Amino acid sequence: MIQAVNLHRSYRIGKKSIEVLHGIDLNIRRGERVFLCGPSGAGKTTLLYTLAGLERPEQGNVHIDGTDLYTLGPKKQAAFRNAKIGYIFQNYLLLPELTALENVLVPGAIGGKDETEAAMAALTRVGLADRADHLPAELSGGEQQRVAIARALVNHPPVLFADEPTGNLDSRNSTEVMDLLLGLAAESGTTLVVVTHDEHLATRGDRTLIIKDGSITDAAALA
Ligand SMILES: Nc1ncnc2c1ncn2[C@@H]1O[C@H](COP(=O)(O)OP(=O)(O)OP(=O)(O)O)[C@@H](O)[C@H]1O
């Protein structure tokens, strides 16, 4: 479902260029749940952005469901992402001036009865139907994260990326949010890639990958 070949990405800081992704190859099967771990600054977010079409690699390519992401023009790529890819950003990234319902509506073509129904259905799936009119500031961290999950899933994407979805939550909320994410993904056969620092949570998928020094290793291979 997700195939990455020879991904290279570096950042220029002053005069220095630092290579963050060092020729990464990756194959993730349809419906597989993969956890991605690694030290802070190892490149987990950069890899997720690159796999999701949000950051073009300097070398290499990414195929999602058979489509070569970075050969698409900007409009086609945006439409492809909207249909195929859900993304849960680090720190929720909800728009503070919009209600929970309006935040979930953001990925759709704004407005229309069907979109509102779909957004309400997504909020219901994450247990927040009664909070639809609340602003993010009126919600707890766990609730905000659930709104972000509803937003990522509103279009029923076959692929879902989640960057530290429990990073700001206490352990009870972390378990609840991870249960929800894994449950929703299992219900619809979603391919799931989750970045986490939490080694306990990282064992709950089908596979754990470790990124270190710009390269990726299967955790099972290290065991
Ligand atoms: N836009 C940018 N410009 C310059 N350097 C960047 C940029 N984005 C990331 N980096 C650098 O690339 C490296 C990898 O960053 P990335 O955010 O991918 O790491 P990470 O593994 O997700 O870290 P964390 O676990 O702390 O979130 C870091 O050294 C970071 O400082």
**C-beta atoms surrounding 124 within 10 Å:** 13
**Three-state SS for 81?**
helix
Q: 67: part of which helix (H) or strand (E)?
A: strand 67-68
- Domain with residue 153: its CATH number is 3.40.50.300
The percent of residues above 70 in pLDDT, for the chain, comes to 95
Query: ipTM, 2 decimals?
Result: 0.94
Q: Does residue 38 have its Cβ closer than 6 Å to ligand 1? A: yes
Q: How far is the CA of 116 from the centre of ligand 1 (A)?
A: 36
Q: How far is the CA of 11 from the centre of ligand 1 (A)?
A: 9
What is the number of structural domains in the chain? 1
Provide the token pair at 164. 């530290």
| pLDDT tens track for 44-98 | 999 999 999 999 999 999 999 999 999 999 889 988 998 899 999 988 889 999 9
Q: Nearest 5°: CA angle at 18, between 17 and 24?
A: 130
Q: Nearest 5°: CA angle at 76, between 73 and 82?
A: 135
Amino acid 218: pLDDT? 77
Q: How far is the CA of 210 from the centre of ligand 1 (A)?
A: 16
Q: Is 156 left (phi over 0), alpha (psi -120 to 50) or beta?
A: left
Domain that holds residue 52: 2-222
- pLDDT confidence tier of residue 112, bands split at 50, 70 and 90: low
